[in-house]
């Protein structure tokens, strides 16, 4: 059901704009305040479909001798009322979810410049190899002798990530970036405790991602914020004032969430190491520097990687991801278990991986030599050894690209971002959406919508919503918090120049349209499956499941 939409009349006749796909040369008439037929689909959950008696699953016969169920499981332990799951056929399920999928915008379909998320193309080879039964149907408790391929792959990924980061010891276990952060903070704590020191403070810049302070609290420590200087880097004076012998670690990313590489990083490392603290690198922005520079060389002790950012694990609408960590020698003994060890000269008859080496999975810290990675392990952060399906994809990616390919990826990411910045300048976009800090950027940059809001009453949010009508996913909005009306744009290396050109033109068009009539953007989007949603109502009166009574 939909009420008739009050459609504003287009202000000009037919500006000609490039297609959102970027490469299609045929021009499009101005989008688009028109109604999208998909808007007439009323959202209906699977629970509201189907009927009693419909089904998909056919249970096999038990095939075993009859037995009284009460003998197997006393009635008091058995469920009386079944879960009210849907009753639908396979055809109904497929149609429901396929139609639902069409209400999503996705990366395969269009440009997705979400800053800090690194929305690069997800190669389809990765889906094929992950689905090989030798990987997909391997049980995590399989005897390690019969999982040599998996262990060799994991060991190989560990070596690759060690080389990219410049830190030799890797653990693949954490399930996502923030899980890796938690591992990092717990490792730093363990390192200090082992030296007989209790340090309670974690320094984070005020540009930090929200997961950083949340992680610190979960690890039982306290956040101390460090100021940002006018160039967008860490304020060294503030850092010197706050770093002391209660500092457990400094959590930083470089380039930071403003897309700026802090040129003082070696000084920062020296200040923190000077007070005995540990330096932690949030790898969310690794896409800017692969093969170009390395956190280990900058002085970091702990790095986490987001395999679902730089290393192509598809985002899946919110996961799965994977957050491996790499650490320096002094932190390595505390790494989580299990640890993979490689034997290059196994006894004859030992099962090996294709390389000829034999791999073991050590689950017990006491079985490890003194000082070896994991020998004083903090324990486990989750079940088994981590999101192996993600390891397969990232390993495949790095193997495909090699050193030169990784460097090409990061260089192109930086070039694309600076190019887009230049095009936005050329089209006059940066008058109302100025660059918040500096003049150059690494792989992403932050514009401020402050002037746009003051002059035209149009907010960053409105620009984002109007971009949806043009077939682009908006950049990240309102992050980092340091920038007023922030618009964080990360074009990534897999996008073609034509797409970047198209995006710049469209942003210019949105601003031109806003000067004429700000209400168009303020009431956008018009052509998406639903229009602006009442988020306050959803929070005040939460309805979090389909009622079934």
Partner 1 sequence: MTRYTTTTEADREEMLRAVGVTSTRDLLAEQIPAALLRDEPLDLPDGRGEQEVHAHLRDLAGANTSAEDEVTFLGAGMYDHYVPAIIDMLLGRSEFLTPYTPYQPEVSQGGLQVMFEYQTAISELTALPVSNASVYEGPSAVAAAAYLAKLHNGRGKLVVSAGAHPHTLQTLETLAHGYGQEVVVVPLKGGATDPDAWAAAIDETTSAAIVQQPNFLGAVEDVAALTAAAKEAGGDKLVTVGAYDPITLGILVPPGEAGIDVAVGEGQTLGNRLDFGGPSFGFFAARDAFLRRMPGRIAGETTDVDGRRGFVLTLQTREQHIRREKATSNICTAQALNALAGVVYLGWLGREGLPELAELLARRTHYARTTLAAIDGVELLHDRPVVREFALRLPGIDVPALVAHVQDRGYHPGLPLVRTHGDEHADGLLVALTEQRTKEQIDRLAELLVGAIAAQRGGGSASPQAAASRNGVAA
Partner 2 sequence: MADASYPEDLKYHPEHDWARIDGDTAVFGITWYAQDALGEVVFFDPPEVGATVTAGESYAEIESVKAVSDVVAPLSGEILEVNDALEDGPEAVNEDPYEAGWLVKVRLSDPSEIDALQDRDTYVASLS
Which positions lie near partner 2, rule CB under 8 A?
Answer: 478, 535-536, 539-540
Q: What are phi and psi of 251, to 5 degrees?
A: -105, 125
State residue 489 phi and psi, 5-degree precision: -115, 125
Between strands 278-282 and 247-252, the pairing is: parallel
**In the complex, what is the shortest distance from the CB of residue 13 to partner 1, in angstroms, rounded to a whole number?**
27
Omega before 255 within 30 of 0, i.e. cis: yes
Q: How far is the CB of 478 from partner 1 (least distance, A)?
A: 9
Taking the complex as a whole, the smallest distance from the CB of residue 295 to partner 2 amounts, in Å, to 32
Q: Does 518 bind partner 1 (CB under 8 A)?
A: no
In the set 9, 26, 37, 83, which binds partner 1 (CB under 8 A)? 83
Work out how close the CB of 229 gets to partner 1 at its nearest, in angstroms, rounded to a whole number: 15
Q: Which is nearer to partner 2, 407 or 531 (CB)?
A: 531
Cβ burial, residue 371 (10 Å; 0-12/13-18/19+): exposed
Shortest spacing between CB 167 and partner 1, in angstroms? 13
In the complex with partner 1, which residue's Cβ is closer, 179 or 453? 179
Could you tell which of partner 1, partner 2, none binds residue 345, using a CB distance below 5 to 8 A set by kind?
A: none
Footprint on residues 12-31 left by partner 1 (CB under 8 A): none
Judged by beta carbon, residue 26 or residue 139, the one nearer partner 1 is: 139
Instruction: Report the distance separating Cα 448 and Cα 69, nearest Å.
Output: 67
Which one of partner 1, partner 2, none is in contact with 474 (Cβ closer than 5 to 8 A by kind)?
A: partner 1
Contacts with partner 1 by CB under 8 A: the residue count is 212
- By CB under 8 A, tell whether 286 contacts partner 1: no
Contacts of 320 (CB under 8 A, 6+ apart): 175, 176, 308, 313, 387, 389, 390
Residue 56 or 451: the one with the smaller Cβ distance to partner 1 is: 56
Query: Angle 388-426/148-165 helices, nearest 10 degrees?
Result: 30
Kindly give the pairing relationship between strand 278-282 and strand 358-362.
unpaired
Picked from partner 2, partner 1, none, the partner binding residue 241 (CB below 5 to 8 A depending on kind) is none
Q: Going residue by residue from 308 to 337, which x/- string records binding to partner 1, judged by CB under 8 A?
A: x-----xxxxxxxxx-------------xx
Interacting partner of 295 out of partner 2, partner 1, none (Cβ under 5 to 8 A depending on kind):
none
* 345 belongs to the binding site for partner 1 (CB under 8 A): no
CB 39, min distance to partner 1, A: 7
Residue 127's binding partner among partner 2, partner 1, none (Cβ under 5 to 8 angstroms by kind) is partner 1
Least distance CB 96 / partner 1 (angstroms): 8
Q: In this complex, which beta carbon is closest to partner 2, that of residue 27 or of residue 537?
A: 537
Could you give the CA distance from residue 411 to residue 419 in angstroms, rounded to a whole number?
12
Residue 21 contacts which entry, partner 2, partner 1, none (Cβ below 5-8 A, type-dependent):
none
The side-by-side arrangement of strands in the sheet containing 169-171 is: 169-171, 325-327, 302-304, 278-282, 247-252, 201-205, 222-226
Using CB under 8 A, pick the residue from 205, 283, 324, 474 that binds partner 1.
Answer: 474
250 contacts 280 by C-beta, under 8 angstroms: yes
Name which position in 32, 394, 396, 448 contacts partner 1 (CB under 8 A): 396
473 binds partner 1 (CB under 8 A): yes
By beta-carbon proximity to partner 2, the closer residue of 419 and 478 is 478
The encoded tokens of residue 394 equal 């990232």
Binders in 216-275 for partner 1, by CB under 8 A? 216-220, 223, 260-261, 263, 265-266
Asked if 406 touches partner 1 (CB under 8 A), the answer is yes
Instruction: Name the CA dihedral angle for 271, 273, 278, 281, rounded to a multiple of 10 degrees.
Output: 60
Work out which of 97, 237, 431, 515 binds partner 1, going by CB under 8 A.
97
Q: Which is nearer to partner 2, 137 or 540 (CB)?
A: 540
Q: Which residues contact 442 (CB under 8 A, 6 or more apart)?
A: 255, 259, 260, 261, 285, 288, 289, 413, 414, 417
Q: Which of 301, 298, 338, 295 is nearest to 192 (CA)?
A: 301
Supply the minimum distance, in Å, between the C-beta of residue 479 and partner 2: 11
Determine contact, residues 146/351, Cβ cutoff 8 Å: yes
- Quick one: what does residue 29 bind among partner 1, partner 2, none, with the CB cut-off 5 to 8 Å set by partner type? none
Q: Classify each residue of 309-333 as buried b or exposed e, where b means 16 or more C-beta atoms within 10 Å of its C-beta.
A: bbbbbbbeeeeebbbbbbbbeebbb
83 by Cβ neighbours in 10 Å (0-12 / 13-18 / 19+) ranks as exposed
The window from 24-32, 244-252, 270-278, 376-384 that contacts partner 1 (CB under 8 A) reads: 376-384
Q: In b/e form, how buried is each residue of 101-128, taking b as 16+ CB within 10 angstroms? A: eeeeeebeebbbbbbbbbbbebbeebee
To which residue do tokens 């090699």 refer?
A: 402
């Amino acid at each position: 059901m939909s009420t008739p939409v009050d459609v504003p009349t287009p202000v000009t006749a037919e500006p000609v704009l490039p297609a959102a796909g970027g490469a299609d040369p045929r021009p499009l008439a101005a989008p688009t305040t028109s109604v999208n037929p998909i808007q007439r689909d009323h959202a209906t959950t699977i629970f509201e479909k189907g009927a009693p008696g419909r089904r998909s699953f056919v249970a096999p016969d038990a095939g075993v001798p009859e037995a009284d169920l009460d003998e197997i499981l006393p009635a008091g332990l058995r469920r009386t009322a079944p879960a009210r799951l849907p009753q639908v056929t396979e055809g109904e399920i497929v149609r429901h979810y396929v139609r639902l999928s069409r209400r999503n915008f996705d990366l395969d379909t269009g440009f997705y410049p979400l800053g800090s998320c690194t929305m690069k193309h997800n190669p389809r080879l990765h889906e094929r190899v992950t689905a090989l039964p030798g990987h997909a149907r391997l049980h995590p408790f399989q005897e390690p002798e019969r999982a040599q391929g998996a262990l060799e792959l994991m060991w190989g990924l560990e070596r690759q990530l060690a080389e990219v980061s410049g830190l030799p010891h890797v653990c693949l276990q954490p399930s996502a970036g923030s899980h890796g952060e938690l591992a990092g903070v717990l490792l730093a704590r363990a390192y200090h405790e082992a030296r007989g020191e209790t340090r309670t403070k974690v320094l984070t810049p005020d540009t930090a991602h929200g997961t950083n302070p949340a992680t610190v609290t979960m690890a039982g420590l306290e956040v101390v914020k460090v100021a940002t200087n006018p160039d967008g880097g860490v304020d060294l004076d503030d850092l010197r004032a706050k770093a002391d012998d209660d500092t457990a670690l400094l959590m930083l990313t470089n380039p930071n969430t403003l897309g700026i590489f802090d040129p003082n990083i070696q000084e920062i490392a020296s200040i923190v190491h000077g007070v005995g603290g540990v330096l932690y690198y949030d790898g969310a922005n690794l896409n800017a520097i692969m093969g170009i520079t390395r956190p280990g060389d900058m002085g970091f002790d702990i790095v986490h990687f987001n395999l679902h950012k730089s290393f192509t694990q598809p985002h899946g609408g919110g996961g799965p991801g994977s957050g491996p960590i790499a650490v320096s020698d002094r932190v390595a003994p505390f790494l989580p278990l299990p640890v993979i060890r490689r034997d290059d000269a196994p006894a004859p008859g030992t099962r090996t991986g294709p390389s000829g080496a034999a791999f073991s999975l050590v689950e017990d810290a006491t079985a490890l030599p003194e000082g070896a990675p994991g020998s004083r392990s903090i324990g486990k952060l989750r079940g088994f050894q981590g999101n192996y399906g993600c390891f397969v994809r990232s390993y495949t990616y790095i193997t495909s690209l090699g050193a030169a390919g990784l460097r090409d990826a990061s260089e192109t990411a930086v070039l694309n971002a600076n190019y887009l910045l230049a095009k936005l300048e050329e089209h006059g976009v940066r008058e109302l959406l100025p660059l918040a800090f500096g003049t150059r950027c690494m792989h992403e940059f932050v514009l401020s919508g402050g002037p746009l809001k003051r002059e035209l009453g149009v907010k960053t949010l409105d620009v984002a919503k109007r971009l949806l009508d043009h077939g682009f996913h908006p950049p990240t909005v309102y992050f980092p918090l340091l920038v007023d009306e922030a618009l964080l744009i990360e074009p990534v290396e897999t996008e073609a120049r034509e797409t970047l050109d198209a995006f710049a033109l469209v942003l210019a068009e949105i601003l031109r349209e806003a000067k004429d009539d700000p209400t168009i953007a303020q009431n956008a989007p018009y052509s998406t499956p639903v229009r602006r949603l009442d988020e306050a109502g959803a929070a005040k009166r939460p309805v979090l499941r389909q009622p079934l009574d």
